[in-house]
């Protein structure tokens, strides 16, 4: 069985200005081609070139959502710890001190929830523009 030789042995030399090279390099880096030669061959033979597209506004939204998720996880952990502490209380004095501490935690929770709501509102406004 003879296999077809797929090694590329022929070269084409093409001289470019720095601006021309920069334009080709920019397009190549935006594509999924791993090598410049692959990109140029695809262009020469009019094969499809898959380009990557980054939506910076979507990246910003994702960054903000990750931050908000972290905030919500922290709030949830604090709430769980607070409820666990409540279940261990046996005396009325302990319960009163827990209530006072819980009021502070409640205000922090409310502030974080307002922050989350405002962030989501801003993201929606940006999205709808």
Q: From first to last of the 129 residues of the chain, give the pLDDT tens digit.
A: 456 667 888 888 889 999 999 999 998 888 888 899 999 999 888 888 887 665 666 767 778 778 888 888 887 788 788 778 777 777 777 777 777 777 887 888 888 888 888 887 887 777 666
Compute the distance between CA of residue 12 and CA of residue 116 in angstroms, rounded to an integer: 58
Q: How many CA atoms lie within 13 A of 8 on its CB side?
A: 5
In sequence order, the 6+-apart residues with CB closer than 8 A to the CB of 125 are: none
The pair of three-digit structure tokens given for residue 118, joined into one six-digit string: 């405002």
Contact 71, 110 (CB under 8 A): no
Inter-residue contact 71 to 87 (CB < 8 Å): no
Could you tell me the sign of the dihedral formed by the alpha carbons of 96, 101, 107, 113, in that order? negative
Per-domain residue ranges of the chain: 12-53, 56-128
pTM value > 0.75: no
């Amino acid at each position: 069985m003879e296999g077809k030789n797929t090694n590329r042995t022929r070269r084409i030399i093409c001289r470019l200005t720095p601006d021309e090279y920069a334009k080709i390099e920019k397009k190549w880096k935006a594509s999924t081609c791993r090598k410049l030669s692959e990109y140029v061959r695809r262009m020469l033979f009019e094969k499809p070139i898959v380009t990557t597209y980054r939506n910076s506004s979507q990246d910003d939204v994702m960054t903000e959502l990750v931050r908000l998720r972290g905030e919500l996880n922290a709030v949830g952990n604090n709430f769980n710890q607070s409820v666990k502490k409540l279940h261990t209380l046996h005396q009325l004095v302990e319960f009163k001190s827990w209530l006072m501490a819980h009021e502070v935690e409640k205000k922090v929770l409310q502030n974080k929830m307002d922050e989350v709501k405002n962030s989501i509102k801003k993201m929606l406004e940006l999205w709808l523009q």
